[in-house]
Amino acid sequence: MPAPIDPARSTADNAGPAATEPILNIKDLSIAYRSGAGDVRAVRHVDLDLHAGEVVGLAGESGCGKSTLAYGSIRLLRPPAVITGGSVTYRGRRVDARGVDVLAANAEQLRILRWREIAIVFQSAMNSLNPVLRVRDQLLDAVGAHLAMTSEQRHDRIVTLIEMVGIPRARLKSYPHELSGGMRQRVMIAMALAAEPEVVIMDEPTTALDVVVQRDILAEIFELKDRLGFSVLFITHDLSLLLEIADRVVIMYAGQVVESGTREQIHTRSVHPYTRGLLTSFPRLTGPRRKLSGIPGSPPDLRGALVGCPFIPRCRFSTDACATVDMALTPVEADHVSACPFVTAERLDRAPAAAAAIAQARDAAGTGAAVLEAVELAKRYRLGRNVTVDAVRGVSVQLRRGTITALVGESGSGKTTVARLLAGQERRSGGEILLDGAPIDPAARRGFRAYKGAVQMVFQDPFAALNPLHTVRYHVERALRLHQRRTGSDPNQAELDRLLEQVRLSPPDQFRDAHPHELSGGQRQRVAIARALAASPRV
């Protein structure tokens, strides 16, 4: 669980969201993705307000519509996405009074609105930055497009921006691939703040970063928010994170808002069963160890109309009345609304726990035989004629059958390099790797190919791991063919669907022919996992 809540920090707790008029008002917004198999109604009749100086957290499972809602609010959606109803207003509807009706704005109004008034930090910094431009040039572009400045003023501005987010000015000469993940994310934040916007939308800005870097960046974000006075719409699947940083928390499920309240209300008095399910899906750091209860099943198919509550198949408290319930949000208390009229916080508190306490901790070493072993592993990179970097030195690790081994460390400590060496993605400079006790020789191409099938890797960045030109079907079936070339069988759709179901991409026919850009970040990662499982790996 997150650290105890400090009510004094929350502007929403002190003043209440109704104390001021919202800067950004989303009303009854609906968004669909057109497809031959039927429109996917990704966002359904959503209301959301963001007030001055406020941090609103938007949480929910992958594919629930969080990013679609955010991009739709500033009309950054690409076909086949279309806005099918509702309104989005920035400072009211009157354009001549600095207010903009976003959905009716023309191209020039949108150009002024984006970045100058509402900026966005995208989910994947590596894919959001231009790989062939230096950091300096990308920041100059952002400043020059929106601020009338001389060349000297623009240069001074980008130096201020880069140092404001904790990056030395010397890094202005770097290309994105020369920066760590944390630095790339800081560059994105600097670009978002270039024109001093009033609203910053952050789409899972720290998901791929280690905990130490994540905390540093979050601390910088909120120090900058307090100094510059902007508001934040923070999107994440990590509800525990929002309970630490947000003033208000909005929970989405199946494209709809199912509960909204202050972070203290959501943390201690949530009333929707889905919200409670999310709260029990991450581990507590104190008290007895417990199995995570999670939420069984998968979200519903979003094609066509949903009648009643979409959470019925996964809800322990559902009744016949839920099948016809109006999903309108109803007040629970001041600033707290829920789409479930039947369940109270008291009833949820009295419900038996979904998972029993673990009596004894699992033996961390495991009891199975060693499947994969690395002995004195080393990797040296040559950066120039006389410059080398030892990324991995003398690492030994043993993976036992049926166990989970965690490799932990800060960014740059060599974790990913060790993983890539074990998976055969990099050639080692020293040491030995053994599979079932037999040494692995990368020079023996046939045996090494079999090894790479036995040891699969799910990469850190799902945006870069999938070919944007190909569908989910292509990625998974290609892995099946490569594996089944050794077993003598041909892949069929049943095998493909089984893998998609395993990673909760359900129903499979909604995802088979989708391209990566049509999926959420979490759904892309599930495709990468399905591709790895297609090889029936040992590790």
- Residues 147, 78 share a domain: yes
Residue 532 lies in a domain: yes
* In the block, residue with structure tokens 């049943």: 494
**Nearest residue to 505 (alpha-carbon basis) of 519, 490, 494, 491:** 519
8 Å CB contact between 59 and 99: no
- Domain boundary residue, one of 455, 487, 503: 455
pLDDT at residue 442, rounded to an integer: 73
Query: pLDDT value at position 2?
Result: 40
Give the residues across from 81 on adjacent strands.
33
Is the same domain home to 316 and 439? Answer: no
Quick one: 273 and 209 in the same domain?
A: no
pLDDT digit string (tens) for 476-518?
A: 998 888 876 555 566 678 889 999 999 988 888 888 888 888 8
Question: pLDDT value at position 348?
Answer: 73
Shared domain check, 510 and 420: no
In a domain, residue 58? The reply is: yes
- Taking the C-alpha atoms of residue 459 and residue 419, their distance in angstroms, rounded to an integer, is 10
Please tell me whether residues 110 and 238 are part of one structural domain. yes
One domain, residues 226 and 303: no
Which of 435, 455, 475 is at the close of a domain?
Answer: 455
State which of 185, 216, 246 marks the end of a domain.
246
Question: Per residue of the chain (539 residues), what is the pLDDT tens digit?
Answer: 444 334 334 444 444 444 578 999 999 999 999 887 788 899 999 999 999 999 999 999 888 999 999 999 999 988 889 999 999 999 875 444 456 778 888 888 888 888 889 999 987 766 788 989 999 999 999 998 888 899 999 999 999 999 988 889 999 999 988 887 788 888 999 999 998 999 999 998 877 677 777 888 888 888 899 999 999 999 998 888 899 899 999 999 999 999 999 999 999 999 999 998 898 887 766 666 666 677 888 888 888 778 889 999 989 888 888 988 888 899 999 999 999 988 877 777 766 555 444 434 444 445 578 889 989 999 988 877 778 888 889 899 999 988 888 888 877 788 888 888 998 888 888 899 988 888 887 766 667 778 888 889 988 777 788 888 999 999 999 888 887 655 556 667 888 999 999 998 888 888 888 888 888 888 888 999 999 999 888 99
Identify which of 457, 454, 424 has the alpha carbon closest to the alpha carbon of residue 441: 424
Looking at the structure, do residues 142 and 230 belong to the same domain, yes or no? yes
Structural domain includes residue 298: yes
User: What domain count does the chain have?
Assistant: 4
What pLDDT, on the 0 to 100 scale, is given for residue 93? 53
- CB under 8 Å, gap of 24 or more: what pairs does 179-185 form? 179/135, 180/213, 180/411, 180/412, 181/125, 181/126, 181/208, 181/209, 181/213, 181/411, 182/209, 182/213, 182/216, 182/217, 182/411, 184/125, 184/126, 184/129, 185/121, 185/125, 185/209, 185/217
pLDDT of 180 reads 78
Q: According to the 3-state scheme, what is the secondary structure of 261-327?
A: EEHHHHHHHCCCHHHHHHHCCCCCCCCCCECCCCCCCCCCCCECCCCCCCCHHHCCCCCHHHHHCCC
Q: Considering the domain boundaries, does residue 15 fall inside one?
A: no
Looking at the domain assignment, is residue 252 inside a domain? Answer: no
Q: Are residues 486 and 504 in the same domain?
A: yes
CATH of the domain at 58: 3.40.50.300
Flag whether 450 is in a domain: yes
pLDDT at 173: 92
**Same domain for 209 and 316:** no
Is 341 a domain residue? yes
Question: CA–CA separation, 371 vs 99, rounded Å?
Answer: 63
d(CA 342, CA 201): 33
Note whether 318 and 309 are within 8 A (CB): yes
Residue 285 has a pLDDT of 64
Does 9 map to a domain? Answer: no
Pair 420, 495 in one domain: no
Q: Are residues 406 and 500 in the same domain?
A: no
Question: Do both 179 and 210 map to the same domain?
Answer: yes
Q: Which range of residues forms the domain containing residue 478?
A: 457-539
Hey, what are 509's tokens? 């026919």
